[in-house]
Amino acid sequence: MKVLVTGGAGFIGSNFVYLILKERPSWQVTVIDKLGYAGNKQSLEGALDKITFVKGNICDEGLIDSLVADSDAVVHFAAESHNDNSIANPWPFIESNLIGTYRILEAVRKHSKRLHHISTDEVYGDLELDDPAKFTDKTPYNPSSPYSSTKAGSDLLVRAWVRSFGVQATISNCSNNYGPRQHVEKFIPRQITEVLLDRKPKLYGTGENIRDWIQVDDHNSAVLTILEKGKAGETYLIGANGEKNNKEVVEMILSLMGKDPMDYEHVTDRPGHDLRYAIDNSKLVDELSWQPHYTSFEDGLRATIDWYTHNDSWWKPQKAETEAKYKQAGH
């Protein structure tokens, strides 16, 4: 099996590469990544001698065509993914998430290759805090940011190519990931690294917004399951029943790091900040027999804190520029 992983130097993609090397050692893995600010070749340090790495842009038609032609399957992680950045400058999201996905779809169509497309639960909009409902693959799309809108668009492109051209593709929409190698702009690593630098974590608004957290290895084990067992044309929602509000998460981080759990700052809320995400993973569990490994959010968070504590050479180069951007935005 020859697998092309787009965005394989990013957070989820790099962790997927390590999972493949561990669980499917006979597979040949090629990674394409443009190494933008959120792509870090250092994230693949332990894998570079076992994979083929290509620095390149998924919007490059010729490059994508040649890489897809030489693969059996494509796992498409590559995307611009930070909501705050999409509000400040939507264009990179249009380019990567829509045009890049189009290039991949045309290549897999031309060469009759298998595709798995990685997406987000944010395409569904948000739920009320007291709503008992969860997102399913039948939930109507209702994106609220340039990021989630472009991911919704990319999902619809995949569905259209399946229906119009018979492309053998599956889609997964996953809840919020956490774990090793996540850029410090993201919520959990930002708070952990603030504490490690002896500064107070920052909490948007009142912190009542709820996210459904999943450890990145659980997400990737689900992706591997879908790649091998999923039915073409189907959408699978990936989640681990990990609903926590942002206030709870910040306080848990502080507590696990030996600090006063109330020692954080409230900052200006993000415009259009979604209230609650929640995933119904029953289709994935019932049809493909998948189960998460990390059933305790606290255990997963403790392991994540440990990784950032012992890998400051990985995250420190990102930190100053990231906090400068937040400061400029008033966050």
Annotation says 121 is catalytic: yes
- pLDDT tens-digit series, residues 284-322: 999 999 999 999 999 999 999 999 999 999 999 999 999
Is residue 309 a part of any domain in this protein?
no
- pLDDT tens-digit series, residues 48-72: 999 999 999 999 999 999 999 999 9
User: What CA–CA distance (Å, rounded) separates 307 from 90?
Assistant: 32
Residue spans of beta strands (DSSP E) within 268-308:
none
Q: What is the CATH number of the domain that holds 227?
A: 3.40.50.720
Ramachandran sector of residue 8 (left: φ over 0; alpha: ψ -120 to 50; beta: rest): alpha
Annotation says 147 is catalytic: yes
Is residue 45 a part of any domain in this protein?
yes
Among the listed residues 253, 277, 266, 248, the one whose alpha carbon sits nearest the alpha carbon of residue 206: 266
- pLDDT tens-digit series, residues 230-248: 999 999 999 999 999 999 9
Which entry of 80, 121, 217, 218 is annotated as an active-site residue? Answer: 121
User: What CA–CA distance (Å, rounded) separates 119 from 330?
Assistant: 29
Instruction: Supply the range of the domain harboring residue 226.
Output: 2-177+215-238
Which entry of 33, 122, 217, 243 is annotated as an active-site residue? Answer: 122
The number of distinct structural domains making up the chain is 1
Is residue 41 a part of any domain in this protein?
yes
H or E element at residue 22: helix 11-23
- pLDDT tens-digit series, residues 113-144: 999 999 999 999 999 999 999 999 999 999 99
For residues 276-288, average pLDDT: 97
Residue found under tokens 């504490």: 195
With pLDDT > 70 as the criterion, what percentage of the chain qualifies?
Answer: 100
Query: Which residues touch 257 (CB under 8 Å, ≥6 apart)?
Result: 192, 195, 196, 305
Is residue 321 a part of any domain in this protein?
no
Is residue 267 a part of any domain in this protein?
no
Among the listed residues 8, 2, 16, the one whose alpha carbon sits nearest the alpha carbon of residue 222: 16
Does residue 331 surpass a pLDDT of 90?
no
The pLDDT of residue 95 is: 97
pTM equals: 0.96
- pLDDT tens-digit series, residues 174-221: 999 999 999 999 999 999 999 999 999 999 999 999 999 999 999 999
Is residue 141 a part of any domain in this protein?
yes
End-to-end CA distance of the chain: 45
Q: Side chain identity at 54, as an amino acid letter?
A: V
User: What CA–CA distance (Å, rounded) separates 70 from 244?
Assistant: 42
Is residue 158 a part of any domain in this protein?
yes
Does residue 25 surpass a pLDDT of 90?
yes
The pLDDT of residue 268 is: 86
Which entry of 18, 102, 147, 308 is annotated as an active-site residue? Answer: 147
Is residue 231 a part of any domain in this protein?
yes
H helices of 116-261, where?
Answer: 146-165, 187-196, 216-229, 246-256
Annotation says 294 is catalytic: no
